Amino acid sequence: MVALNNNDFLVMPISDYLISSEKVAHVQVGNNAEHALLVLTKTGYSAIPVLDAKYKLRGLLGIGMITDAILGLERIEYERLSDLKVDDIMQTDLPLIRTTDRFQKGLDLLINHTFLCVTDEEGTFAGILTRRVMLKQFKKYVYSSR
């Protein structure tokens, strides 16, 4: 059990730890699954956010969701990739986290997610919070308090 003398970092705003939206690879609603697969493969990311034209967060798309959608009875039906829209296969029930939320909320949610999509109060995509960045920061606090 980690016992820190000073837990102030738990109330720090998560906005300090974001990878900002302009550095985050994404796809747009209306894009087809072929384009999404290309972006995911080229970037090497397991999942990326789906945004609309106004930069509002609409969902999350991972390689597994795409392969699952084109899985036929006996083979993977690659020819369906160009007809499938990301809107039809993306995950929409995402954990809700805002730029104004605190470090502790991010830490709690990142136990079950490798990264979180963060929005402002209007739902506009602000960036992502990754488990890697938060763990690095957490490690810094733990080591500096010893």
Q: How far is the CB of 60 from ligand AMP (least distance, A)?
A: 9
Q: How far is the CB of 17 from ligand AMP (least distance, A)?
A: 12
Give the count of alpha carbons within 13 A of 33, CB side only.
22
| Helix/strand/coil for 23 | helix
> Given the rule CB under 6 A, which residues bind ligand AMP?
19, 23-25, 45-48, 114-115, 128, 130, 132
Q: How far is the CB of 115 from ligand AMP (least distance, A)?
A: 4
| Helix/strand/coil for 111 | coil
Q: How far is CA 102 from CA 8, 17, 97, 129, in A?
A: 11, 10, 9, 12
Cβ proximity to ligand AMP, 77 vs 136, nearer residue: 136
Dihedral Cα 144, 3, 114, 18, nearest 10 deg: -50
| Helix/strand/coil for 93 | coil
- Tell the residue number behind the tokens 């995402």, with chain if given: 94
Cβ proximity to ligand AMP, 4 vs 94, nearer residue: 94
Q: How far is the CB of 45 from ligand AMP (least distance, A)?
A: 4
